[in-house]
Structure 1
């Protein structure tokens, strides 16, 4: 008969085993924490880069569509105009589509609006927007041609009466007086350009701040590890 003697473990050996197990668990937990932190830092950097890239694309689109148009336009100075006269002067011929290869003639009234600039006192014709300057040189607005001439006349009479009741309107003009026309609406005013560039600037600053904070956190973490490993 054989007797197998068990290995006797001393308290010191048990303590070393427990210490190794605890150290192993601690290393695993530290690795998991470091992996999670690294993944979070990577996501934060990607978020910051995405914000910066998106803001640059927004800058590109805004500069092509809005800022370029604003820079090319001379009627950008905003002021207040006094409505002096708003009358229907004459009927202008136009043509409307009545079907496939079918065009018929109609008319619309020409509304002339004279205003005076509060800033300089200069008197000029008021136009609805800058597109009207390319279409006509005397009418406030050129509508889409319609079959019923009376409908357009009523519409322009209402616009004329509305301008008379306003008396004062916000308008845009050329301070250098190279362009004598005055606009009621400007699609790309200085305030519109400012607000369009403000939000991409905030996005770009936020993205850059996120990247900077992540890099600063990584630098401080590395610095703390170096200080902890330094011999005392």
Structure 2
């Protein structure tokens, strides 16, 4: 009976040790992936200063209103704000600025024009209801644009690093508990 119990303990310890090592390896792989994807986006972000923006004007632009410029076939919200004593164009996120520099907000459903127009009208009404709001401006003064919301801010970075850190801590804890159990078993056997 004692020999079977010892063998079962060794199998359990081996499995727990494999689990702990697998958790640590997965955490290291996750850190590598985050370090090559999320971290460079966070470091490249120039919109680091949070300030207060005051709404100056909003305008919904359609293609026919822009007079010959090549613009996609969807309604486009254009927002002009005042922040830190200067005028600036407001963009919803970094991606909005990269997709179309003439639009502050691009609706989610671009296939259905009436639904996209209703979405843009709702966002415009929200800006008029809250004329003063927080926004993110660039650290350099010559940047003529500000962001409403950062995609790659410190909260996103912390949220991305939470689960790999939890996995690494859990794996190291499992390994430490197995090693501690083995050393206590050796001490108990010697007595």
TM over 0.5: yes
- Contact 1:126-1:182 within 8 A present in 2 as well: yes
1:62-211 aligned within 5 A:
62-88=34-60, 91-92=65-66, 108=74, 110-117=76-83, 120-142=84-106, 155-177=119-141, 179-211=143-175
- Contact 1:74-1:179 within 8 A present in 2 as well: no
Normalising by structure 1, what TM-score? 0.67
Cα distance in 2, alignment partners of residues 110 and 79 from structure 1: 25
Counterpart of 1:17 in structure 2 is: none
- Contact 1:49-1:207 within 8 A present in 2 as well: yes
Counterpart of 2:180 in structure 1 is: 216
State the 1:79 CA deviation: 4.1
Kindly indicate whether structure 1 or structure 2 has the higher relative contact order, using CA contacts under 8 Å at least 6 residues apart: 2
SS state at 2:47 partner: coil
Q: 1:203 to 1:110 in 2, by over 3 A?
A: closer
Cα distance in 2, alignment partners of residues 212 and 106 from structure 1: 58
Please list every run of 5 or more consecutive structure 1 residues that lacks an aligned counterpart in the other structure: 1-28, 96-104
Alignment partner of 1:50 out of 22, 28, 32: 22
Q: 1:37 to 1:108 in 2, by over 3 A?
A: closer
1:18-57 aligned within 5 A:
29-57=1-29
Cα distance in 1, alignment partners of residues 158 and 23 from structure 2: 20
Q: Larger Rg: 1 or 2?
A: 1
Q: CA RMSD, aligned part only?
A: 3.0
SS state at 1:53 partner: helix
Cα distance in 2, alignment partners of residues 45 and 177 from structure 1: 55
Please list every run of 5 or more consecutive structure 2 residues that lacks an aligned counterpart in the other structure: none
